[in-house]
Amino acid sequence: MIKVRNLKKEFTQGQERTHVLKGFDLNVKEGEFVAVMGPSGSGKSTLLQLLGGLDVPTEGDIVINQSNLSNMTEKERTIFRRKYLGFIFQNYQLLPTLSVEENIAFPLHADGKKNNQIIIELLDSIGLKELGPKRANLLSGGQQQRVAIARALVNEPSVLLADEPTGNLDRGKADEILGLISRFNRENNQTIIMVTHDIFAAGFADRIILFKDGVIEQVISRKDDDFAKYVANFMA
């Protein structure tokens, strides 16, 4: 589903060049749930931006669904992103004055489509059936993140990219969001890449990628014997 090869990203500001991603490979299978962890400033958000076609690598390839993002024009990338990718962010990024329904439907309208049935099903699956007409900014943080998840999934994206989706939520609300995300992963075989600081959150994933100084330092798989022990150690 996703193939990353020799991914490099530098930022230039005046005379200064920062090498944020320093060349690594990554494969993600369809239906896999991958968590990306690492210190602040290690390049996790940059990686998600590149995977999401919101920015371009300095070097290397990102292949999603057999399409190489590095070979696309900006316009092609935008079309690809709307069609195949969904995003969730730490701060929800809903349109505050639109209703819950309008927020969820937003990507469909951008696509010229309209499908009320999908909206109704998504509202139900995020547990906000009654709140469709409510203004988004009147919702709690946890509810807003549910809406953001529904919006990200409305186009049935190949990949859901989540950047610290539980970063602004308390433990209980975070667990609800994680439960929801992992349910979409299990039941719909939704491929997910989630950046997180939260080891509890990472424990929902099939694999944890530990990111440091712009490269992948370690990959831990749920199938590994020491997955649970590793997660426990990390939490201690």
Q: Which span sits near Mg ion by CB under 5 A: 36-44, 59-67, 108-116, 143-151? A: 36-44
Beta bridge partners of residue 62, listed in sequence order = 4
Nearer to Mg ion, 102 or 164 (CB): 164
127 touches, from ligand ADP, Mg ion, none (C-beta below 5 to 8 Å by class):
none
The distance of closest approach from Cβ of residue 197 to Mg ion in the complex, given in angstroms and rounded to an integer, is 9
53 touches, from Mg ion, ligand ADP, none (C-beta below 5 to 8 Å by class):
none
Residue 168 binds to Mg ion (criterion: CB under 5 A): no
Nearer to ligand ADP, 106 or 234 (CB): 234
Task: Decide if 159 contacts 82 (C-beta within 8 A).
Answer: no
Distance CA 60, CA 66 (A): 15
Nearer to Mg ion, 43 or 107 (CB): 43
Distance CA 153, CA 160 (A): 8
Per CB under 5 A, contacts with Mg ion among 39-58 are: 44-45
Nearer to ligand ADP, 20 or 126 (CB): 20
117 touches, from ligand ADP, Mg ion, none (C-beta below 5 to 8 Å by class):
none
**139's tokens:** 């919702």
Instruction: Estimate to the nearest angstrom the gap between the alpha carbon of 208 and the chain centroid.
Output: 14
The distance of closest approach from Cβ of residue 205 to ligand ADP in the complex, given in angstroms and rounded to an integer, is 17
Q: What is the DSSP letter of 150?
A: H
**233's tokens:** 């150690």
**159's tokens:** 């990949």
Nearer to Mg ion, 40 or 73 (CB): 40
> In whole angstroms, how far apart are CA 210 and each of 97, 118, 181, 198?
38, 36, 20, 12
The distance of closest approach from Cβ of residue 45 to Mg ion in the complex, given in angstroms and rounded to an integer, is 3
158 touches, from Mg ion, ligand ADP, none (C-beta below 5 to 8 Å by class):
none
Distance CA 161, CA 51 (A): 8
41 touches, from Mg ion, ligand ADP, none (C-beta below 5 to 8 Å by class):
ligand ADP
Task: Decide if 103 contacts 151 (C-beta within 8 A).
Answer: yes
Nearer to ligand ADP, 101 or 198 (CB): 198
Residue 99: other Cβ atoms inside 10 A: 17
**23's tokens:** 């060349």
Contacts of 32 (CB under 8 A, 6+ apart): 1, 191, 192, 206, 207
The distance of closest approach from Cβ of residue 46 to ligand ADP in the complex, given in angstroms and rounded to an integer, is 3
Residues that bind ligand ADP (CB under 6 A): 11, 13, 18, 20, 38, 40-46
71 touches, from Mg ion, ligand ADP, none (C-beta below 5 to 8 Å by class):
none
Question: Which residues are near Mg ion by CB under 5 A?
Answer: 44-45
